[in-house]
Amino acid sequence: MGMSRPSIRDRLGALRTLPPFIAMIWRTSAALTLATAGLRLVRAMLPIATLFVGKLIIDEVVRRSRLPEPTGDLWRLGLLLGAELVLALLADALGRAVALLDQLLSDRFSDETSLRLMHHAATLDLRDFEDSETQDKLDRARRQASGRSGLVSLLLGQAQDLVTLAGFAAGIAAYTPWLILLLAAALVPAFVGEVRFNRLAYSINVKRTTDRRELDYLRQTGASTATAKEVKLFGLHGFLIGRYRELAVGMQRENAAFASRRAASGASLAALGTVGYYAAYAYLAWRAVEGGLTVGDLTFLAASFLRLRGLLAGVLAGLSSLASQALYLQDLFSFLDVRAAIVSPPNGLPFPANLASGIEFQNVGFRYPDAPAWAMRHLSFRLETGRVLALVGENGAGKTTLVKLLTRLYDPDEGRILVDGHDLRAYDLDSVRAGIGVIFQDFVRYDLSASDNIAVGRIEQRADRGKIEQAAASGRADEVIGRLPGGYDQMVGRRFRGGVELSGGEWQKVALARAYMRDAAVLILDEPTAALDARAEFEVFERFKALSASRTAVLISHRFSSVRMADQILVVAGGRVEASGTHAELVAQGGRYAELFELQAAGYR
């Protein structure tokens, strides 16, 4: 959200999020919502009934104290005392029941909202995750998924308090209606002050989104297995701790200054409410002395006025809080309103299980969002079925961008990509992702079992141990897993107790097995052997080529020992195909490929 300090109009506008929020609560559990609302309705009437019974008890005691035999025939007094006892027991029981139901509903709401966020995030485009503004929205939305669960209780509590408030107001109005106006006049300034500070609190929260993300990053970087080696060797602890302290102390000071201002303002404005209460109390006492009220009436009205004051202050503060919370809800719904640009077409084609004619890039151009230059342009080439295509080029040449376009993580801005003669955008998106197996050089190292780390390549076949073992053998990960204490059931990674960390080369073999588990028509490996020694690299690529005989395969690598065995090599530079051919043809042509090959070969002489 772009607002630095939301206006009253912004806050009232944000209240539009309450109906969809209530709908979310209802969808979470209609039964729990009805149960807690019904119990709260009964509970809302108990304070009024209890005070009124108390008034009757006092009046009965005063009446009997004036009789010749005050202690005779106490059945009426006993009945009233018994009624008050029942009301007290019922209030306690209902309070505990409501608290339990609220907790159950809030926990379920928090879980359901988190799941909804995860589902929605899965539908978004890669560019959404690479955009800092969307990242801020996602960060605030995550916080609202758990932080707004208390709003469920607040909303229901407000409804309960309004019922109770109406009952007390009706009771007081029956005696002296103008006292209600006195009370409202005394509390309005405190309400206005609370509204102002809630607005400031929200604007501060929004402004700090990026700082909070940086704090989370520093906390993770300073105490993480993944970064521990470099942090120690480079002596980064002091820098990370200093940066964290600088940000944290700044936020603490801002918090302290804001809290102090809020407390001082709240105390002075709340004093007006106290003065209003005692002015009303003095008037009621004067009426009782004159005989206009009984002692029971005085007790009932004084207690009702005190309770009404607290309720009205609470309801006004609650309304201010609801308006403020609605702004935070707007953050949640703002993220849920983000829509993917890359979607499946209506009646999308199923991606072929085996390609017939292959893949063709026709004059493809693409530019990353907000980037001044094209990542690639006028890119044209053809990849035939059953052949291995290698992409070669210096860093930033556009090789990985090409893979992102082929998997529809992005769509071209110009030109088109054909698969078996059909535009890639004509295929069902899930079918495309299922039909293309990709292992990027920055593949994820899941803190799961060895078996699950392979099964994520085709997670619906997670229970097929035979398929997993076959994929492990294809990627040479079976040797790695055979050395683990727990075999395929061994937890890998250091995040959880009992986990075993793998070397870079071992992880790479597991990732390769993941690609073979995919068993896709198109197989893409982005730097698949970077962490392997020369012998392992040769064996992996030999197997890759053999297993790709019936598939369409793409290999991205800086190692010419692997690249030279490809059926076709594309030299990519500046987002264009600079040269194409076999290894022998490209070396004979001279140019960039021959130069890069000679530089690498010279290192082995």
Look at residues 336, 369, 387 and tell me which one is the last residue of a structural domain.
Answer: 336
Lowest mean per-residue pLDDT among 38-47, 200-209, 234-243: 200-209
Domain count, the chain: 2
Higher pLDDT, 401 or 295: 401
Residue 526 sits in the same domain as residue 598: yes
Does residue 349 lie in a domain region?
no
Closest to 113 measured CA to CA, from 146, 91, 80, 64: 146
Residue pLDDT, tens place only, 564-604? 888 888 888 877 888 888 888 888 888 888 888 887 766 55
Q: DSSP 3-state helix, strand, coil percentages of the chain (rounded to 5)?
A: 65, 10, 25
Closest to 509 measured CA to CA, from 410, 443, 417, 458: 443
Q: In degrees rounded to 5, what are phi and psi of residue 540?
A: -65, -45
Rounded Cα distance between 437 and 439, Å, is: 7
Instruction: Name the strand (E) or helix (H) holding 184.
Output: helix 178-207
Q: What is the DSSP string of 428-470?
A: -HHHHHHHEEEE-TT----SSBHHHHHHGGGGGGTT-HHHHHH
Rounded to an integer, the average pLDDT of 279-308 is 73
Residues 6+ away with beta carbon under 8 Å from 155: 18, 21, 22, 25, 322
> Residue 14 pLDDT > 70, yes or no?
no
Structural domain including 24 reads 11-336
Residue 374 sits in the same domain as residue 239: no
pLDDT class of 1 with cuts at 50, 70, 90: very low
Lowest mean per-residue pLDDT among 4-8, 51-55, 214-218, 451-455: 4-8
> Residue 5 pLDDT > 60, yes or no?
no
Closest to 480 measured CA to CA, from 517, 507, 453: 507
Higher pLDDT, 202 or 259: 259
How long, in residues, is the chain? 605
Residue pLDDT, tens place only, 408-465? 989 999 999 999 999 999 999 888 988 888 888 778 888 889 999 899 888 888 899 9
Residue 407 sits in the same domain as residue 323: no
Residue 328 sits in the same domain as residue 465: no
Residue 330 sits in the same domain as residue 374: no
pLDDT at 93: 92
Rounded Cα distance between 599 and 594, Å, is: 9
Residue 562 sits in a domain whose CATH number is: 3.40.50.300
Residue pLDDT, tens place only, 60-90? 787 777 777 666 567 888 888 888 899 889 9
Does residue 5 lie in a domain region?
no
Residue 311 sits in the same domain as residue 382: no
Q: What is the DSSP string of 434-445?
A: HHEEEE-TT---
Q: Give the Cβ contact number of residue 392 at 10 Å.
A: 27
Residue 480 sits in the same domain as residue 598: yes
Mean of per-residue pLDDT scores for the chain? 79
Residue 179 sits in the same domain as residue 295: yes
pLDDT class of 481 with cuts at 50, 70, 90: very high
> Residue 187 pLDDT > 70, yes or no?
no
Does residue 277 lie in a domain region?
yes
Higher pLDDT, 502 or 271: 502
Does residue 341 lie in a domain region?
no
Closest to 152 measured CA to CA, from 55, 33, 233, 270: 33
In the chain, what percentage of residues exceed pLDDT 90?
Answer: 10
pLDDT at 3: 45
Rounded to an integer, the average pLDDT of 244-273 is 77
pLDDT at 157: 82
Residue 269 sits in a domain whose CATH number is: 1.20.1560.10
pLDDT at 2: 43
Residues 6+ away with beta carbon under 8 Å from 599: none
1, two tokens: 């959200």
Q: What's the pTM value of the predicted model, to 2 decimals?
A: 0.64
Rounded to an integer, the average pLDDT of 529-551 is 71
Does residue 345 lie in a domain region?
no
Look at residues 301, 336, 371 and tell me which one is the last residue of a structural domain.
Answer: 336
pLDDT class of 467 with cuts at 50, 70, 90: very high
Residue type for 337, please? Answer: D
Rounded to an integer, the average pLDDT of 467-483 is 90
Higher pLDDT, 211 or 278: 211
pLDDT at 428: 93
Instruction: Name the strand (E) or helix (H) holding 415.
Output: strand 414-419
Residue 421 sits in the same domain as residue 292: no
pLDDT at 184: 64
pLDDT class of 531 with cuts at 50, 70, 90: low
> Residue 191 pLDDT > 70, yes or no?
no
Residue 323 sits in the same domain as residue 369: no
Does residue 344 lie in a domain region?
no
